[in-house]
Chain A
Amino acid sequence: MTKHERCEIDEQELLLYHYRELDEQEQGRITSHLEACARCRRKIDEFAATLSAAAPDEMEWSGADQRRFCARIDERINRRRQPAGLWIGGVAAAMLMVALLLPWRSDIPEQLSTSPQPLKMMAELEIFEHLDFLQAIDLLEILDLLDDLEPIG
C-alpha cells in the first residue's frame, strides 16, 4: 500500500471508495477529504481512466449457440447415465468368462496363475500412469510459490 505524502488515505482505500465498497461513514469521510486533497482526486481520476479502458466487452452469444451448448451438455449427461449399466454388465460378463475358462488352461504354469506378481506389476504400472499428474501438482506448487514471491520481485 502506498501512503500519500500529505494524507492518511492509501490507494487501496481510494480504490474501494471508487467501487463503493466502504461503509457509509468511511465513504463520507473520503468524499470530504477529496474536496481538500488534489492528490487523492488525481488518483481517483487515474483509477476511473484505467477502469474505463478496461471496460468489459460483450460476448456474442446467439440463440443457436445457446441451443448447441445445451444439447452438448444434455448429450454428455445422457452418455454418462446410459453406459453405466452396459459397462457393469460387460465387466461382469468378462469376469465370468475368465473364471470359467481359467481352470481349463492347463498350460498356464501354476506359479504364474497363483502368484500375486502380475497384480503387483499392474499396480506399479498404475503408479506410472499417475506420474504426469503428480508432476503437474509439483509444478502448480512451484507456480504458487512464484506467485507469492512476486511482490518481493
Chain B
Amino acid sequence: MLQEYPLPMDIRTEQIMVQQVVSGNTNEFGAIVDAHSPRVIRLAWRMVGSREDAEEIAQEAFLRLYRALPEMRGECTLSTWLYQAVSRLAIDFLRREQLRRKIFWFRNRDEAYDPVEQVADPAASPRELLLASERRKRLRSALQQLSPRQRAVFVLRHDEGVPLKEIAAILGMKEGTVKVHLHRAVATLGKELADLGVRQ
C-alpha cells in the first residue's frame, strides 16, 4: 500500500529493523521513528489543524506501533500501519473536539495561537501576506465544517494524494462510502471557499 509515494525506507530494510526491535534493540526503533515521523506528524497536523495536538497524536501512534511490532506479520508496511493509526486517532480526536464544541459552545481552538501560522514568507509583499493569512483562516474554518470522517478522507486524498481504494483500507470503510465522503467534503468546501477559489 501507498506504493505511489516514496516510502521512507525500503521494505527489506524495514523488516530487518523490525526484527531487531522485536529482539530488544530499541535504538532501531529510534531509527524507525526518525524515518517516518515527518510524514506522520504532517498528516496528523493536516487532519487536526494544531501542531501540539498533531504531535500528541503522532506520539501515540508510534507508541502503539512499538507495542504492536511483536504481533506484526508483515501484512502491511509500517507506513500504512502508521497512516491507519494516525487517521483513526485523528478522527477520534476531532469527534471529541466537535462534541465539546456542541456541548459547551466553545471555540477556543479557533482563536488558538499557532506558531506555524505566524511564519511569514520574507519574499512576500504585505498584500500577499494578508491574502495568504486570510486564505489559511478561511480554509481552517471551512475544514472545521466537515465531519471527522469527511476531513480524514479529504486530507488523505487531496493533501496526501492517497488513492481512494487505499483510503478505504486505511479507514476501514467501503470504497463507495469514501467516495461519498470525498464528494460531500468538496461540496462543503466549495460553499465555504467559493470566493477564494474564484480569486485564485
Residues on A facing B (Cβ under 8 Å) = 1, 11-12, 15-16, 19, 21, 46-47, 49-54, 56-57, 59-61, 66, 69-70, 72-74, 76-78, 80-81, 136, 139-140, 143, 146-147, 150-151
Contact = CB atoms under 8 A, between A and B. Distances in A.
B179 A16 contact: yes
B-side interface size class: 35 or more
Given A15-B182, A50-B186, A77-B26, A56 B197 contact: no
A76 B197 CA distance: 44
8 contacts: A15-B182, A15-B183, A57-B116, A57-B136, A60-B116, A77-B29, A81-B26, A146-B102
Interface in B63-83: 63, 66
A147 B147 contact: yes
B144 interface: no
Nearest to A21: B164
**Which DSSP category, helix, strand, loop or mixed, fits chain B's interface?**
helix
B38 A66 contact: yes
Interface in B186-200: 186-187, 189-190, 193-194, 196-198, 200
A73 B149 CA distance: 27
Given A50-B194, A73-B59, 18 more contacts: A12-B183, A19-B164, A46-B190, A49-B200, A52-B197, A52-B200, A53-B138, A56-B158, A59-B45, A60-B116, A61-B38, A69-B37, A69-B58, A70-B30, A73-B33, A77-B26, A81-B26, A143-B99
Interface of B: 26, 29-30, 33-34, 37-38, 41-42, 45-46, 51, 55, 58-59, 62-63, 66, 95-96, 98-99, 102-103, 116, 119, 135-136, 138-139, 142, 147, 149, 155, 157-159, 163-164, 179-180, 182-184, 186-187, 189-190, 193-194, 196-198, 200
Contacts of B159: 56
B45 to A, nearest CB: 5
A81 B38 CA distance: 25
Given A12-B179, A54-B189, A73-B62, A59 B116 contact: yes
